[in-house]
Amino acid sequence: MAKTLLLEVGIALTGIAIAGAVADRAGLSVIPAYILAGILIGPNEPSSVAGVSLTLVENREFIDVLAELGIVFLLFFLGLEFSISQLLADRKRIVKAGSVDFLVNFGLGATLGVAFGFSVIETLFIAGIVYISSSAVVTKSLTENGWIANPESGPILGTLVFEDVLIAVYLALLSAVVLGGGSMVDAVTSVGVAFGFLGVLAVVAWYGAETVERAFDVSSDELFLLRILGTTTFVAGAALAIGLSEAVAAFFVGTAFSNTDHTERIEDVVAPTRDFFAAVFFFAIGLTTDVTVLDDVVLLLASAVVVTTVGKAASGTLSGRAYGLDARRSLRVGLGLVPRGEFSLVIAALASSAGTETLRSVIPAFAVGYVLIMSVLGTVLIQHADSINAMLVSGPGGFSRE
């Protein structure tokens, strides 16, 4: 068994590399590619093609740990790049745009959950999964389509910053409930402990910036890297050990660094490590996904795709208007926020460690299917935003006139 572990890891990493290359060629986000690679060569369906086994990688504990680190470092970088100063400087508009985004999309997600008969907890998971946009895919699309230099990038990025705060709160709450144990008392206690721990981290992040600055002022890149990795993983692991969300802990560790002068260096030295762990995370999601479960949720999936795409387009357009943008740019804001990705999967990963059967397999499978579709759909919509705008402007009869 041990002899083949290295080979399996090698196959997994090669698979990830090939998937990334294919996605890059196709001009699409790498996230769905990594997931599909995991689905393809994982133990679940599709397991063989014309009698030849496709199961090259079993779901191993080792890959799970790497995937866990992927979550930790994705959220660490989110915290690192989280600009509290930007949020405060533009707070009126960001709060407006962010609130509209939350109310519309989380609301639609919750409605879907209730309409399809899920429990309260399950509905909360579904709402979170369909609400949060993918900062990675959105930012990449903004850069590739040149929107980054246009006014519409303002509300788009502002909404993403607002979502950062909400996802931290959301994950903290949900983790406490899920990991904390069954009864109401347990849940409330663990929420209290969670906010206590995070409160301590937040205080360290805010007031300890100078100490952090000095503690990490080391000239060797190697030592710098090790210190960052060690600290982040340790704090995240400690959080998880006491039943809190390791993701949110990592987020707060990231914010602790965002106030120091080390941010550029961290981007330089630690980003490749994050890229590696994150890629394994997406791959591992694919490994654990049983696509046959999707049969049960096809209707939910289809409804979610349609409803939440329209939801984001609408809420984004309203946000664009709140920023004083014209109709064309406001629509871009709407379409720009459609891509879903890494955070929906982080939420799904949390679900898969939960109690009920539905949470463990149905919700994650739904999330994977949803992200696969929405990451690609979002990218395509952004690329064709102007055509869509033209179509909407000239009305339903516009097709024949074009």
Partner 1 sequence: MTVYETEVPGVGHKFELELDGGSRLVVILHHDGKRELYLRPEENADSRKLFELPGKQARQLGSILEGAYFQPVEMDDIQVPMGESIIEWHDVPAGSTLVGRSLQAMEIRERTGVSVIAIQRGDETIDNPLPDTVVQADDILVTLGTREEQQSFSELAERTDDSGG
Q: Which residues bind partner 1 (CB under 8 A)?
A: 77-78, 81-83, 85-86, 135-136, 139, 143, 146, 148-151, 153-154, 157, 160-161, 164, 264, 267-268, 271, 326
Residue closer to partner 1, measured from CB, 264 or 357: 264
To partner 1, the closest distance from the beta carbon of 57 in angstroms equals 29
Smallest separation, CB 71 to partner 1 (Å): 17
- To the nearest whole angstrom, how small is the minimum distance from the Cβ of residue 189 to partner 1? 34
Residue 113 and residue 127 in contact, taking contact as beta carbons nearer than 8 Å? yes
Min. distance of Cβ 264 from partner 1 in angstroms?
7
CA distance 331 to 289: 34
Nearest approach in angstroms of CB 62 to partner 1 is 29
Q: How far is CA 26 from CA 21, 234, 277, 340, 384, in A?
A: 9, 38, 23, 18, 16
Query: In whole angstroms, how close is the CB of 65 to partner 1 at the nearest point?
Result: 25
- Supply the minimum distance, in Å, between the C-beta of residue 385 and partner 1: 11
Q: Which is nearer to partner 1, 77 or 197 (CB)?
A: 77
Q: And the tokens for 18? A: 């090939």
CB 32 within 8 A of CB 368: no
Q: Which is nearer to partner 1, 221 or 268 (CB)?
A: 268
For partner 1, the closer CB: 79 or 364:
79
Q: Which is nearer to partner 1, 43 or 151 (CB)?
A: 151
Q: In the complex with partner 1, which residue's Cβ is closer, 325 or 348? A: 325
Look up residue 304 and give its two tokens: 């979610």
Q: To the nearest whole angstrom, how small is the minimum distance from the Cβ of residue 365 to partner 1? A: 28
R_g of the chain, CA atoms, integer Å = 21
- Annotate the chain with three-state secondary structure: CHHHHHHHHHHHHHHHHHHHHHHHHHCCCHHHHHHHHHHHHCCCCCCEECCEECCCCCCCHHHHHHHHHHHHHHHHHHHHHCCHHHHHHCHHHHHHHHHHHHHHHHHHHHHHHHHCCCCHHHHHHHHHHHHCCCHHHHHHHHHHCCHHHCCCHHHHHHHHHHHHHHHHHHHHHHHHHHHHCCCHHHHHHHHHHHHHHHHHHHHHHHHCHHHHHHHCCCCCHHHHHHHHHHHHHHHHHHHHHCCCCHHHHHHHHHHHHHCCCCHHHHHHHHHHHHHHHHHHHHHHHHHHCCHHHHHHHHHHHHHHHHHHHHHHHHHHHHHHHHCCCCHHHHHHHHHHCCCCCHHHHHHHHHHCCCCCHHHHHHHHHHHHHHHHHHHHHHHHHHHCHHHHHHHHHHCCCHHHHC
CB of 229 to partner 1, least distance (A): 18
Q: For partner 1, give the closer residue by CB, 77 or 216.
A: 77
Of the pair 96, 274, the CB lying nearest partner 1 is at 274
CB of 91 to partner 1, least distance (A): 14
- Residue with Cβ nearer partner 1 (58 or 326): 326
Complex with partner 1: residue 157 or 347, whichever CB lies closer: 157
